[in-house]
Structure 1
Amino acid sequence: MSVLKRPILTEKMTDLNKKGQYAFEVDLKANKVEIRKAVEKMYGVRVEGVRTLRQLGKKKSKNVNGRIVTGTTSTTKKAIVTVAEGEVIDIYAEV
């Protein structure tokens, strides 16, 4: 089971990079300790803090052959990781 799925590369999260904070999409069952260890092992940096949040799936509806089909998008979990001052994670090297 991989704890880190992918880094989140949005405008808002890119602004947090200047403060030493990086965002990742993580496994729904991962806890803060597992996320900290995975980031430290993968990127070789010292993690000072981890904040997590669950983003619930949205309800969606669409018209298919004259019928309305409803469903939900999947629930995701995000982690915002703060690294030690002076350390940098080069996320764009993997993209």
Structure 2
Amino acid sequence: MDARDIIRRPIITEASMAQTENKRYVFEVDVRATKPQIKQAIESIFDVRISRLNTANVRGKKKRQGRYVGYTRKMKKATVTLSQDSKDIQIFNEG
């Protein structure tokens, strides 16, 4: 897999944005990606050094449309902690 295929998008919530002060960022990644693949992809795309990487598999939520029941898609979240000497990741273009 290519590095751009592994990292899907940053997860931007109030809780995740509060962690950016401590150099912690949350990304949605491919479900099949492993921790070494995720670490290598983030380091190559953003040119940073990672000190810690946690992953979590998130189940799909149960949804109904009338009498039909289904599930939303499952996803994998990666919480990345950068090393102290690493630069910050710019999620938004500051201009």
Q: How far is the alpha carbon of 1:60 from its aligned partner?
A: 1.0
> Is the strand fraction higher in 1 or 2?
1
Matched residue, 1:80: 79
Q: Output one character per residue of 1:34-80: Cα deviation in whole Å (capped at 9) or x when no partner.
A: 111111100001111110001100111122xxxx1110011000000
Q: How does 1:7-26 map to 2 (within 5 A)?
A: 7-26=10-29
Distance in 2, Cα, partners of 1:13 & 1:77: 15
TM-score (norm 2): 0.89
Secondary structure of the corresponding residue to residue 41 of structure 1: helix
Gaps of 5+ in 2: none
Matched residue, 1:92: 92
Secondary structure of the corresponding residue to residue 45 of structure 1: coil
Secondary structure of the corresponding residue to residue 81 of structure 2: strand
Matched residue, 2:37: 34
Q: How does 1:57-72 map to 2 (within 5 A)?
A: 57-63=60-66, 68-72=67-71
Higher radius of gyration, 1 or 2: 1
Q: What is the Cα-based RMSD across aligned positions, in Å?
A: 1.3
TM-score (norm 1): 0.89
Secondary structure of the corresponding residue to residue 27 of structure 2: strand
The share of aligned pairs that are identical, in percent, is: 36
Gaps of 5+ in 1: none
